[in-house]
Structure 1
Amino acid sequence: MEFSWLSDLDGLPSVPPTCAPSIVASARSLLGEGPVRWAVSTSREMARQIFERVPEGGVGPAPFETLHQMAEAVVLTCLCGLADPRGAEIDGPARFAVPVEGAEAVRDFVRRGIPLERVLRGVRIGHAVLHRALRDAAPGGELPGRLTEILFELTDLLSSDMAETYVAERDRWEDSEEAVRCRLVEAIIAREGVDPASAERILDYRLDRHHVAVILWREGPAGTATSLQAWVAGLRAGCVGEGPLQVAGHAGAVWLWIGFDARPDRMAWPAGLPDGWRAAAGPPSFGLPGVRRSHLAARHCARIAVTMPASVGVCDYADVRTAALLTGDTEQARWFVRETLGALAAPDSRSARLRETLLCYLASGRSLKTAAERLGAARNTVAYRVKRAEELMGAGRPADPLEIRLALEILRFPGALDAVPGQGPGPLLRMYVKAGLAP
């Protein structure tokens, strides 16, 4: 085999594959575990760089995951072609056909109004990342000339195929009823002038009531539309609200709104979610503005939800709204936590237990008895932990219990302070800029 050194590639074992299991299985059979791990790690870096350099691609975990799945499928397909004894010669587009993840990503780009030239720029960036990664891994740090030629030919084939898919999907999408509904919902969220009567007729959904928005998105390859629709049907049967209004969101996400004539005090969500799906819900909000308000709150909630285990089910804004508010600017939030809590902000489990106790103590009105009952601990244990927490904060720290409590609320979800691809500053998706969610 001309490129036998490809079998020596290896990457981080902690990042699981996200593209179709059939592609992963085929790659493992032909290449082995190491090259598959390398492809997964490389494709994640590829997606990160495309996100940074083509900011029109979106914001948040769902658009990034869609791009990552596409990049991973393309990299694995490319490696398999190179490792095949016949792979040194490209014998036509069929050898390097765009995998299904690529076609799905293109459909999503069309729905989000991303121009074709920006999509193709992403392909070029991906080619550069893959070329550099293979060069760094090659014996002697240099790629054979034939492999470089193959990569350029692959990029040409990929660009051509994606352009054809893009144009066909754009023509289909622009004339569809689904597109009309999606554009109307986006206009509501973007706070554009929308006539409520026309909106109700087009959406077949009453607007003069309270609305609870839910955003569902895939996390990994296991999420299927069939399992999701079964969950939505159960949601419809299990709640007293009407609807839901359902539209296709961005990056394979699903947007729901449930309507209530009387404002619900608390939503009773079904236990668990379909495999491979995550969900975040906004607060009840009234009327046409409430459709927008609840959805945007659900988006902020989703930022917290991705830091939590999938087993929590639907992440409700009511449970995380303080942390969502305080971590909107992660750099400021990190400064605030460090300057307020000092050594108590350490990431170890012992400090986390002390923070939990101190937060419960402050939330209980500084009552050791109430805090002990809520924590299921002895009163003396609570007193000791509170004293130790105060010692770790150190002298000279803010004595304002409110500031301490806010910092502790932030660290209930420490992952929300981590940099997440697609959530940084810069030009963001047009509708969210209009909606005031980004500068």
Structure 2
Amino acid sequence: MGTTASDEFGEVGEPGDVAAIAETVHNAIASRVFPHQVNETAFELKLRQCVRGNIGFLADVAAGRLHHDEPDLGHALAFAEVVAARGIPFEDLERAYWVGLEQFWDRWLTIVGEAAERGEGTVTELIGNRTPAVFGYVTRVLGLVSARYDEASNELARTGAERRRALVDELLGASPPAHTQFLDDELGYRLRACHVGLLLLGDRFQAERRLARLRHETEAPAALLVERAPGLFAGWLGFPGRVDPATVGVLRRAVSRHGEPVVAGGPAPGLAGFRRAHEEATRALALRESLADPADFLWYNDVRLEAFLLENTAAARRFVAEELGELAEANERADRIRDTLLAALSSGSQARAAAELGVHENTVRLRLRTATELLGDDLAERRTELLVALRLRRALGNTGQAPFMDAAG
């Protein structure tokens, strides 16, 4: 009864025995945790080295030849870097350790059982006090491996993000490179797609979450996100063909539903479209700051007239005042008449205007009569000028600046 499982394990701890156990553990991990990755030679080699190192140290710890804090864990840390580089979840790496411990423990219990059958002691006596040491080793390894995995993942994300940002800077610059497959591979995004460009405000986590949600809801096959400035991220959704109105509608509803401001440009195809979609989103963002009451989702196509005309705000205010006269002023009566006139001129129908505004058709008719009294009888002939003036007036809002009539003077 003078022996323990530690002694017994010491007897099977010869190189050939440890190698046999390591092979069993390797095969279990390969088949149960990494069945696809082990077909890659480099991955398989690192896995095998990691398993052999861990089983060798576990054998020494179980036999009492080594304290669990002593081993150099370079083999385990190197494998953690390999797993992180391939984007494999840490949960899989952690599971590999528990599968390995399960196989090791099974072998140890077999040794204990064989020794007990030979009358060398009870199971409890044979196991001795080595169980805490074995679990102490595994716990230590997992803690260090987890930290190294996180370090490697963060470094890969940082260098990958920096590399993508540098490439995007080139693509959006004055002399963009010609399209190559290398660019697609480096960006992880197909530049020959049809692009919707987005600008998102917030931190990286918020921007990634919003882009992922919009990609999911629009079923875009590809997406790209890069930081353009602190708190400002440029995103692209890539589609294989033309972006139809239904997809645009999904995008609008998704943004509105979540209430997070997004500006968009495009859609436009190819490398030139990649640049154009971003440029339009940038102009929409600049315009957003000038608008009185911008919607959560601002699509450049919806406001490109305003974007062009509001480059000179003073001239825009003067045009509005000259075209609308008293109707340009900020009061409830003028607001109602402007909204009605804009709806009627845009739709070309009093009935449709009434439906859009949610009022009776007679109300629309009365308001248009008032507009005619204030602006003259030639509303139809001045339709283009009035539509532009009304859209500009809505965009400018009641900003607290000098009255519009002062601009006309």
TM-score by length of 2: 0.52
Given candidates 211, 223, 226, the residue that maps to 2:205 is: 226
1:376 matched to 2:358: yes
Contact 1:181 1:202 in 2 (8 A): yes
Which amino acid is the alignment partner of residue 341 of structure 1? L
Structure 2 distance, partners of 1:418, 1:176, is 47
- CA distances 1:328-361 after superposition (whole Å, capped 9, x unpaired): 3322212211111111111223212211110111
1:280 matched to 2:272: no
Contact 2:310 2:316 in 1 (8 A): yes
- For structure 1, list consecutive stretches of 5 or more residues without a partner in the other structure: 1-171, 219-223, 420-439
- Aligned position for 2:187: 203
Q: 1:416 to 1:375 in 2, by over 3 A?
A: closer
Structure 1 distance, partners of 2:190, 2:394, is 37
1:350 matched to 2:333: yes
Q: 1:358 to 1:397 in 2, by over 3 A?
A: closer
**Structure with greater helix share of residues:** 2
- Aligned position for 2:102: none
SS at match of 2:219: coil
- CA distances 1:289-334 after superposition (whole Å, capped 9, x unpaired): 1011111111222234343657x43222233233223323322212
Q: How many residues align?
A: 238
CA shift for structure 1 position 395:
8.6
CA shift for structure 1 position 243:
2.1
SS at match of 1:335: helix
1:363 matched to 2:346: yes
Structure 1 distance, partners of 2:177, 2:163, is 13
Structure 2 distance, partners of 1:185, 1:335, is 40
Structure 1 distance, partners of 2:379, 2:342, is 16
CA shift for structure 1 position 215:
0.2
1:253 matched to 2:232: yes
Q: 1:417 to 1:322 in 2, by over 3 A?
A: farther
Structure 2 distance, partners of 1:343, 1:300, is 31
- CA distances 1:213-243 after superposition (whole Å, capped 9, x unpaired): 000124xxxxx44344332222222112122
- Aligned position for 2:113: none
- CA distances 1:380-423 after superposition (whole Å, capped 9, x unpaired): 2111111212333369999521111111111221159899xxxx
Which amino acid is the alignment partner of residue 389 of structure 1? A
Q: 1:384 to 1:395 in 2, by over 3 A?
A: closer
Which amino acid is the alignment partner of residue 234 of structure 1? R
- Aligned position for 1:402: 384
- Aligned position for 1:215: 199
Structure 2 distance, partners of 1:177, 1:227, is 19
- Aligned position for 1:385: 367
Structure 2 distance, partners of 1:238, 1:395, is 48
SS at match of 1:212: strand
Contact 1:246 1:254 in 2 (8 A): yes
- CA distances 1:135-158 after superposition (whole Å, capped 9, x unpaired): xxxxxxxxxxxxxxxxxxxxxxxx
Structure 2 distance, partners of 1:338, 1:410, is 10
Q: 1:226 to 1:333 in 2, by over 3 A?
A: same
Runs of 4+ in 1 over 6 A off after TM superposition: 395-398, 416-419
Structure 1 distance, partners of 2:368, 2:169, is 48
Contact 1:371 1:382 in 2 (8 A): yes
Structure 2 distance, partners of 1:344, 1:315, is 26
Contact 1:231 1:273 in 2 (8 A): no
Contact 1:327 1:416 in 2 (8 A): no
**Identical-residue share of aligned pairs (%):** 31
Which amino acid is the alignment partner of residue 312 of structure 2? D
Contact 2:207 2:233 in 1 (8 A): no
1:192 matched to 2:171: no
Structure 1 distance, partners of 2:398, 2:220, is 31
Structure 2 distance, partners of 1:280, 1:390, is 37
Structure 1 distance, partners of 2:326, 2:175, is 47
Which amino acid is the alignment partner of residue 242 of structure 1? P
- Aligned position for 2:241: 262
Q: 1:69-80, aligned counterparts within 5 Å?
A: none
Structure 2 distance, partners of 1:392, 1:322, is 25
1:314 matched to 2:297: yes
* Higher relative contact order, structure no. (Cα contacts within 8 Å, ≥ 6 residues apart): 1
Structure 2 distance, partners of 1:178, 1:255, is 12
Q: 1:204 to 1:285 in 2, by over 3 A?
A: same
Which amino acid is the alignment partner of residue 257 of structure 1? W
